[in-house]
Amino acid sequence: MARIPENYKQQVDRIVEAIIYLYTESRRLTKDQAARHGLTGPQLSVAKILEDIGDLSLSELSERINAQNSTVTGIVDRMEREGLVERKRSSDDRRVVHIRLTKKGHELARSMKFEPFEIFKSAFEQALNREELGQLLQLLDKLATNVRKQVAEKTEK
């Protein structure tokens, strides 16, 4: 078996640390901003997604925030009680329920900047040129595919 150079292990460790930092910082910024508006982090994410994209079904919304339908149902239930979203049955398929922002929800979403998104977007634009950005995207897609595969293998056991 070929020996992995020590420098490689250090590089992998630094990359993992950077990813964890970015994830942790994103969650902290989201949580802080959400709290200023009386929301949870996931509620802030849902409000901004619905503001940007428009009405989504529960499963589409679940996919966008990478959460189980049951988790998103709880988030939407609380937002509905606060008058931020409403559920509307699809006219095309009565089994599908779309989640949409209410007027109050639109006003709140418009008043909030999604700080993690803005900060990371700005960091990418300032730190990377187009070629580097393309390379990073390709590498992150490759990494995400491998992580999904490993997670699927672990859940099968």
| Cβ proximity of 99 and 57 under 8 Å | yes
Return the structure tokens found at 71.
């988790």
pTM of the model: 0.71
Q: Average pLDDT of each block of 10 consecutive residues along the chain (157 residues)?
A: 74 91 89 90 92 92 89 95 94 88 95 79 91 94 91 83
Specify which residues 99 forms β-bridges with. 56, 87
| Cβ proximity of 115 and 30 under 8 Å | yes
Q: Centre a 10 Å sphere on the Cβ of residue 77 and count the other Cβ atoms it contains.
A: 12
